[in-house]
Structure 1
Amino acid sequence: MPKDGYDLVVVANRLPVDISKDDDGEISWKRSPGGLVTALEPVMQKADGAWVGWSGGPGLEVDPFDADEMRLVPVTLSAEEIEKYYEGFSNDTLWPLYHDVIAPPAYHRQWWDAYRRVNQRFADAAAAQAAEGAIVWVHDYQLQLVPKMLRDQRPDLRIGFFDHIPFPPLELFQQLPWRRSVIDGLLGADLVGFQRAGDASNFIRAVRRLTDHTTRGPIITMPDPNGKPGRHVRAAAFPISIDSAHFDELARTPDVQARSQQIRDDLGNPEVIMLGVDRLDYTKGIRHRIKAYGEILADGRLDVEHATLIQVASPSRENVGAYQELREHVEGLAGRINGEYGEIGHSAIHYMHHSYPPEEMAALYLAADVMLVTSLRDGMNLVAKEYVAARSDDRGVLVLSEFTGAADELSSGALLVNPHDIDGMKDAIVAAAQMDRREQRRRMRKLRRRVLNDDVSKWSDSFLGVLTAMPSRTDHV
C-alpha cells in the first residue's frame, strides 16, 4: 500500500478474481469475467486503486496482493456468514423484495445480524486502505450499510454507492423490518446511483417517508452534528453498459463467425433461431417466455421445422430453495414442449443449463435471428446490449421486456413487451420472427448507435465525474 493509502477504493461483494489455495497453502488466482471488472479496471489502474471484496470461498484467509495493476484486499467470510449474509439476507430477503416480490422475501433477524456484521467488516477494510480524502465507490445491494459505516469512521472520504438492481417502490420497501437502517446506510454516501430514474425516485420517496431530512429534487440535505443543514446527498440514474467496442470486435473475428455458422448448421439451418440467455433466476421471466413459445407452436403460427428456441440458463444460487424449484419447473416445461412438438431432427427447444465463455456467447448472438429478453424485473440486463453490440451485420430483432432498465435506452429499436401479457408477447415474438430485412436493419442501426456510444467506460466516467464534483456543504450549492 502507498504510504498514505489509495486515492480510489472500490468495495464490492466479490473480488475481480477467483482465489484458490492448494494443500501447501499456496495462493493462486484467475481473473473472473464480469461487467464491473471491465468497467473499473482501467480506472483502477490509472488511479493505482484498491479493490475490497470477498475471496469467494468459505473461511479463505488471504493477505492483500497485487493483480492486473490493482491492489486486491480479500475479505474473509465463514460458511455460516455466507449462508446468512449472502444466501440469506442478500439473496432471499433483499433480492426478491427489490424485484417486485416476484418470490416472497424471508425476514430473519439472524440474517440481518450477519448482514450488518459483514457490512462492518467490508467498511473497516475499505477505511484501512483509503488515503486522506480518497474516493470510495461501494457497489450493490449486499453492501448497503457500508457508506454510513465508512462515513462514521472516515468523514474525510468522498463516498459513492451504485445499486445494480432495482430499488423498490415505498409500498414494498416498507415491508423490510430494517428499512430505516438501510436508508441511513445509503445516506452515508455523497452520491447514490441507480440504473433508472424511477429507482432514484423510489429511493427519494422512501427518504421522505422514513426520515425527517429535507429533499429538493434529487438532493437530500443531511443534518450536521448540531442539527443544522450539512452535507448533500444526490440520488440519480447512471445506466450501466458493456464494453461494446470489445464485443463488436469479438463478433467480427473469423473464428466467432465460423462458429456462428456451425451453430446454424448443427441446428439444421432453420429459418428462425430464437435465443434466450439468462441466469436461472425467477426474475428473468424464463417460464413466461417458454410458455408463450409453446403456445405459438400449438397455435401453428410457427413450427419446429422452420423455427427453434435456444435457452441458455446458467446455474445460479443453487442452494436457495426458490431456485431449485424454478429449475425443475423450467426443465419440466421445456421437456413437455419438446415431447409434444419436437420431430426427428427438429427440437422445439434446446435447453442448456451451463455457462459459456464470451466467444461462444458472441457466436450464439450472431446465430440468433431473434433475441428474447423477457425479464419480469431487471435492473438493466446487459445481455440485451451484448446482442446489439454483436450484430455488426445490422440483422436480428431484439424482443425486450419493458421492465428492464435497458428498455429506457433501447425502446426505439426493440420490440417492447409486457412478459405478464402472454398473448401480447406471442404477437411480438411472431412479428420478430417474420420481420423483413429492411425493417430489421432500420431498428438494429438505431440500437447499435446507442449501445456503441454509451459504453461502460462512459458510465464509470460519468459516475465518478459527478461524485468528484459534488459539493460537501449547502453553502457551496
Structure 2
Amino acid sequence: MSGDNDFVVVANRLPVDLTRNADGSESWTPSPGGLVAALTPVLSANEGCWVGWPGTPDASPEPFHTEDGVLLHPVSLTEADYRDFYEGFSNATLWPLYHDLIVSPVYDRSWWESYRDVNHRFALEVDKVAAEGATVWVQDYQLQLVPGILRQIRPDLTIGFFLHIPFPGPDLFRQLPWREEIVRGLLGADLLGFHLESNAANFLDLLRHVSIPVEGTARTREVQAFATGGDGRRVGVAAYPISIDPSSLGHSDEAAVAQRRGELGDPATVLLGVDRLDYTKGILQRLTAFEELLESGALDAQDVAFVQVATPSRERLEEYRRARSEVEEAVGRINGRFGAIGRPVVHYLHQALPKRELRHYYSAADVMVVTPFKDGMNLVAKEYVACHPDGSGSLVLSEFAGAAQELTQANLCNPFDSESVKAAILQAIQGLAAHPDVMAQRMSVMYEQVTTHDVDAWANAFLSSLRDARR
C-alpha cells in the first residue's frame, strides 16, 4: 500500500540532528546546509517527505513533522550498518575511488553486502511513504542502488538521482568489483544529475564501454544525453552545478568582523581555510606552502595570520586520523618556528562553527584558500564570495574543485604543486595591494555568478528536467 506523499527526498541523513540530553530525553535540531535550504520549500509545497538516517546508530524514532510541515521518516541503522555501510563501503571504498584514488580504496565483500542491504532498506521505506505516481529524488553516493530497487518495486514513480561528489573516469570505476550492480542501480532513475559536464561525460563513457546505448553528449542544466535502462527506458544524463543559499549566511557585522581581526592581532593580511578534515581537501599542502612562504621571507609572520577551521569528519577511519595528525603537527611546527608568545601565526580550530560565526570569518578574511585535490563542487568557496558583495577579498582555488568551472576569476592553482599554491597565495595578497580595482572587478564577477546561480536555481533546474523526463 502506497503512502500519501507526492514528493520524497531520500538521503543518507535526515535534515535534522538527534541529540540525547542528560536527562535521557531526545531533541531535534535543524542541520545547516544548502541542500536542506533548497529542498525544504519544495517539500513543504508538495506534501513532501524526507527519508533518511537520524544520525545515531540503533536509534528508532517515529516519523514526525517539522515546523515547515515536512514529514521526516527515519531509517534505523545499527552500529554494524554504520561501520560497514557508511564508514566501510561508502567512505573507504566509494569515496577514495570517486576522488581519483588519493588513497587506495578497500574492496571488502562484507561491506558491499551491507551497502546493498541498507540501500534495499531505504527503498522499502520510500515505498511506504510515496504516493502513487510520486516524484522521488535520491541523493548521493551512499544510495546508488536505490533507484534500481525502486524501479522494480514501484514502476509508477518518477525517480531522480543526484551525485554530490565527482564521478571517476571509466578506467578507475572499472576497478570496482560490483561495478555492474552500481550501474544498474543508477539506471533505475529517470534522470541522473552530476555537478559538472566532465562528470556526466565520465558516466556516459563508462556506459559506452560496457555497450549500453547512449544518445547525445552531456550538457549543463539541459538534458542532451540519454542512456538506455535495462527495461528500455530513456534515462536523462546532465550536469546541474549545485550552489548555496546566500541569504542563509546572514549579514556582515562590521563590529564583529573588526573584533575577529583584533583577536588575530590586527595583521595586514588574514588568510582563511574552512574544510572538513578530509584527506581530499589539501589542508596539509596549503599549510606547507604557507610555511615555505614564511621561510623564504616572501611573507612576514608579523604581517599575516592564517585561520584554519577543520571540522571533524569520519574520525574512526585510519586515513582521517592520519590526516588530522599530520595537519596538527604542521600547525605546531609552523607556530613553533614563526609564532611568538601570545601570537601564533596559524590559528587552528578542530570544530564546527555556526554559520553566523563563519560569516564573520569569511568577511574578515582577505584571502580564502581552497585547495582540494578533488572536489565535486566546494560550497565554501562560493560562501566566501557571497560574503564580499563590495568586491573585497580574493580567492585562491584549486583547479580540481568543481567550483573552478564557474569561479574562473579566482587565483587558480594546482594543489599537487607547492610552487603553484605559493604563487597563487602571493598573487592574491600582492594583487589586493597593487591592483585593488582589478581584484575588486574579479570578485564582483564571481559574486554575480554565485548570487545569480543559487541553490534554488539548481533545485528548480533539476526538478524541471525530472518532470519532463516522464512525459
Query: What is the distance in 1 between the residues matched to 2:285 and 2:47?
Result: 46
Contact 1:268–1:345, Cα closer than 8 Å, also in 2: no
In structure 2, the partner of 1:407 is 404
Query: What is the distance in 2 between the residues matched to 1:174 and 1:379?
Result: 20
Q: 1:335 aligns with which of 327, 332, 335?
A: 332
Contact 1:251–1:391, Cα closer than 8 Å, also in 2: no
Query: What is the distance in 1 between the residues matched to 2:83 and 2:326?
Result: 24
TM-score of the two chains, using structure 1 as the length reference: 0.94
Give per-residue Cα distances to partners, 1:170-192, cap 9 Å, x unaligned: 11111110011001100000100
In structure 2, the partner of 1:293 is 290
Give, in angstroms, the shift of residue 35 of structure 1. 1.6
TM-score of the two chains, using structure 2 as the length reference: 0.95
Pair 1:245-2:247 in alignment:
yes
Q: How does 1:235-274 map to 2 (within 5 A)?
A: 235-247=237-249, 250-252=250-252, 256-274=253-271
Whichever residue aligns with residue 301 of structure 1, its letter is A
In structure 2, the partner of 1:227 is none
Query: What is the distance in 2 between the residues matched to 1:20 and 1:373?
Result: 32
Give per-residue Cα distances to partners, 1:240-265, cap 9 Å, x unaligned: 00001342xx133xxx3321110111
Whichever residue aligns with residue 120 of structure 2, its letter is Q
Give, in angstroms, the shift of residue 221 of structure 1. 2.1
Whichever residue aligns with residue 58 of structure 2, its letter is G
Query: What is the distance in 1 between the residues matched to 2:428 and 2:259?
Result: 23
Task: Return 5+ residue gaps in structure 2 as ranges.
Answer: 218-224
Contact 1:372–1:399, Cα closer than 8 Å, also in 2: yes
Contact 1:376–1:420, Cα closer than 8 Å, also in 2: yes
Contact 2:184–2:230, Cα closer than 8 Å, also in 1: no
Give per-residue Cα distances to partners, 1:92-115, cap 9 Å, x unaligned: 100011011101111100000000
Q: How does 1:294-373 map to 2 (within 5 A)?
A: 294-373=291-370
Task: Report the 3-state secondary structure (helix = DSSP H, G, I; strand = E; otherwise coil) of the residue aligned with 1:410.
Answer: coil
Give, in angstroms, the shift of residue 421 of structure 1. 1.4
Contact 2:136–2:158, Cα closer than 8 Å, also in 1: yes
In structure 2, the partner of 1:475 is none
Evaluate the alpha carbon distance shift between residue 92 and residue 442 of structure 1 in structure 2; reply closer, same or farther with a 3 A threshold. same
Contact 1:242–1:382, Cα closer than 8 Å, also in 2: yes
In structure 1, the partner of 2:276 is 279
Q: 1:234 aligns with which of 233, 236, 243?
A: 236
Query: What is the distance in 2 between the residues matched to 1:330 and 1:345?
Result: 21
Query: What is the distance in 1 between the residues matched to 2:210 and 2:137?
Result: 25
Q: 2:413 aligns with which of 398, 417, 428?
A: 417
Task: Report the 3-state secondary structure (helix = DSSP H, G, I; strand = E; otherwise coil) of the residue aligned with 1:56.
Answer: coil
Contact 2:396–2:424, Cα closer than 8 Å, also in 1: yes
Q: How does 1:1-150 map to 2 (within 5 A)?
A: 5-20=4-19, 27-68=26-67, 69-150=69-150
Query: What is the distance in 2 between the residues matched to 1:367 and 1:261?
Result: 7
Query: What is the distance in 2 between the residues matched to 1:351 and 1:367?
Result: 16
Give per-residue Cα distances to partners, 1:214-273, cap 9 Å, x unaligned: 44432112353xxxxx321011100000001342xx133xxx332111011111111110
In structure 2, the partner of 1:196 is 196
Pair 1:397-2:394 in alignment:
yes
Q: Please tell me the root mean square deviation across aligned C-alpha atoms, in Å.
A: 1.6
Evaluate the alpha carbon distance shift between residue 264 and residue 214 of structure 1 in structure 2; reply closer, same or farther with a 3 A threshold. closer
Aligned residues: 460
Contact 2:52–2:73, Cα closer than 8 Å, also in 1: yes
Q: 1:428 aligns with which of 424, 428, 439?
A: 424
Query: What is the distance in 1 between the residues matched to 2:230 and 2:146?
Result: 19
Percent sequence identity is: 50
Give per-residue Cα distances to partners, 1:157-177, cap 9 Å, x unaligned: 100000000001111111110
Pair 1:221-2:218 in alignment:
no
Query: What is the distance in 2 between the residues matched to 1:367 and 1:4?
Result: 49
Pair 1:374-2:368 in alignment:
no
Contact 2:197–2:239, Cα closer than 8 Å, also in 1: yes
Give per-residue Cα distances to partners, 1:61-110, cap 9 Å, x unaligned: 12211113100100000000100000000011000110111011111000
Contact 1:338–1:347, Cα closer than 8 Å, also in 2: yes
Give per-residue Cα distances to partners, 1:263-312, cap 9 Å, x unaligned: 11111111110000000000001111011100101110011101111111
Task: Report the 3-state secondary structure (helix = DSSP H, G, I; strand = E; otherwise coil) of the residue aligned with 1:76.
Answer: coil
Give, in angstroms, the shift of residue 20 of structure 1. 4.0
Evaluate the alpha carbon distance shift between residue 158 and residue 96 of structure 1 in structure 2; reply closer, same or farther with a 3 A threshold. same
In structure 1, the partner of 2:207 is 207
Give, in angstroms, the shift of residue 126 of structure 1. 0.7
Query: What is the distance in 1 between the residues matched to 2:301 and 2:21?
Result: 49
Query: What is the distance in 2 between the residues matched to 1:24 and 1:415?
Result: 51
Q: How does 1:143-182 map to 2 (within 5 A)?
A: 143-182=143-182
Give, in angstroms, the shift of residue 348 of structure 1. 2.1
Whichever residue aligns with residue 110 of structure 1, its letter is S
Whichever residue aligns with residue 402 of structure 1, its letter is E
Task: Report the 3-state secondary structure (helix = DSSP H, G, I; strand = E; otherwise coil) of the residue aligned with 1:155.
Answer: coil
Contact 2:3–2:127, Cα closer than 8 Å, also in 1: no
Contact 2:145–2:185, Cα closer than 8 Å, also in 1: yes
Whichever residue aligns with residue 56 of structure 1, its letter is G
